[in-house]
Structure 1
Amino acid sequence: MDHLLQVKIGVLIGLLLLTLLFGFIPARLKWFRDIGTEFHHQVLSFISCFAGGVFLAACLLDIIPDYLSDISAELSSQTVQSSFPLPEFIMAAGFFMVLILEKIVLNCREIRGSHDERAPLLTESRNGHVQHGHGAVRGPDLESSGHHVHVDFQAHSPFRSFILFLSLSLHSVFEGLAIGLQSTDSKVLEICAAILIHKSIIVFSLSLKLVQSAVPSAWITAYLFIFALMSPIGIAIGISVMEAQLSAGALIQAVLEGLAAGTFIYITFMEILPHELNSAGNQLLKVIFILVGFSIMAGLMFFLG
Structure 2
Amino acid sequence: MDYLLQVKIGALVGLLLLTLLFGFIPARVRWFRDTNGTEIHRTVLSLISCFAGGVFLAACWLDIIPDYLSDITAELGARQVETSFPLPEFIIAAGFFTVLILEKMVLNFREMRAGHEETAPLLSDGRNGHGHGHGHEAAASPDLESSGHHVHVDFQAHSPFRSFMLFLSLSLHSVFEGLAIGLQNTDSKVLEICIAILVHKSIIVFSLSVKLVQSAVHPLWVAVYIGVFAMMSPLGIAVGISVMEADLASGALIQAILEGLAAGTFVYITFMEILPHELNSAGKQLLKVLFILLGFTIMAALTFLG
TM over 0.5: yes
Alignment of 1:1-305 (within 5 A): 1-35=1-35, 36-113=37-114, 118-119=119-120, 136-138=124-126, 139=129, 144=143, 147=146, 151=150, 155-303=157-305, 305=306
Q: Structure 1 CA distance, aligned partners of 2:82 and 2:235?
A: 33
Q: Is the 8 A contact 1:135 1:155 kept in 2?
A: no
How far apart in 1 are the matches of 2:229 and 2:79?
32
* CA distance in structure 2 between the partners assigned to 1:111 and 1:134 by the alignment: 13
* Cα 1:247–1:144 shift into 2, 3 Å: same
Equivalent-residue separation in structure 2 for 1:205 and 1:96 (angstroms): 24
What's the offset of the Cα at 1:137?
3.4
Q: Deviations over 1:133-157 (max 9, x none)?
A: 6573344879616838654799511
Q: Distance in 2 between matches of 1:116 and 1:14?
A: 50
Q: Which amino acid aligns with 1:17?
A: L
**Could you tell me which amino acid in structure 2 is paired with residue 85 of structure 1?**
P
Contact 1:116 1:136 in 2 (8 A): no
CA displacement at 1:107 relative to structure 2: 1.1
Q: Quick one: structure 1 residues 222 and 80, their matched pair in 2 at CA, closer, same or farther if it must change by over 3 Å?
A: same
The answer as to whether partners of 1:8 and 1:179 remain within 8 angstroms in 2 is: yes
Structure 1 residues 162 and 115: CA distance shift in structure 2, 3 A:
farther
Consecutive unaligned residues of structure 1, counting only runs of 5 or more, are: 120-132
C-alpha distance in 2 between matches for 1:55 and 1:140: 20
Deviations for 1:28-86, whole angstroms, at most 9, x for unmatched residues?
00000002000000000000000000000000000000000000000000000000000
Residue 80 of structure 1 aligns to which amino acid in structure 2?
Answer: V
Cα distance in 2 between the residues matched to 1:150 and 1:167? 29
Q: Is the 8 A contact 1:53 1:292 kept in 2?
A: yes
2:190 and 2:151 mapped to 1: Cα distance?
Answer: 42
Q: List structure 1 runs of 4+ shifted beyond 2 angstroms.
A: 114-119, 133-143, 145-155
| Corresponding position of 1:125 | none
Alignment coverage as a number of residue pairs: 291
Q: Given residue 236 of structure 1, which amino acid in structure 2 is its aligned partner?
A: A
Question: More displaced, 172-181 or 247-256?
Answer: 247-256
Question: Structure 2 vs 1, CA of residues 215 and 115 (structure 1 numbering), >3 Å: closer, same or farther?
Answer: farther
Q: Go from structure 1 to structure 2 and tell me whether the alpha carbon gap of 1:232 and 1:140 turns closer, same or farther (over 3 Å shift).
A: closer
CA distance in 1, matches of 2:117, 2:80: 49
Question: SS in structure 2 opposite 1:112?
Answer: helix
Q: 2:136 is matched with which residue? A: none
Using structure 2 for the length normalisation, give the TM-score: 0.90
Letter in 2 for 1:67: Y
Write the distance in 2 (CA, Å) between the matches of 1:73 and 1:140.
Answer: 44
| Counterpart Cα distance in 1 of 2:190 and 2:48 | 32
Deviation at 1:111, TM superposition (A): 1.7
How far apart in 1 are the matches of 2:145 and 2:92? 44
More deviation, 248-257/140-149: 140-149
Q: What is the alpha-carbon root mean square deviation over aligned residues? A: 2.1
Q: Is the CA contact 1:74–1:250 (under 8 Å) kept in the aligned structure 2? A: yes
Amino acid at match of 1:14: G
Aligned residues of 1:169 and 1:227 also touching (Cα < 8 A): yes
Is the Cα contact below 8 Å between 1:106 and 1:118 reproduced in 2? no
Contact 2:124 2:216 in 1 (8 A): no
In structure 2, relative to structure 1, the CA distance for the partners of 1:207 and 1:117 (3 Å cut) is farther
Alpha-carbon shift at residue 118 of structure 1 (Å) = 3.2
**Amino acid corresponding to residue 19 of structure 2 in structure 1:** T
Cα 1:116–1:249 shift into 2, 3 Å: farther
Task: Decide whether aligned partners of structure 1 residues 87 and 112 sit closer, same or farther in structure 2, where only a CA change above 3 A counts.
Answer: same
- Seen in structure 2, the aligned counterparts of structure 1 residues 206 and 115 have a Cα distance that, compared at 3 Å, is farther
One-letter identity of the residue aligned with 2:104: K
Q: 1:228 to 1:162 in 2, by over 3 A?
A: same
TM-superposed deviation, 1:2: 0.3
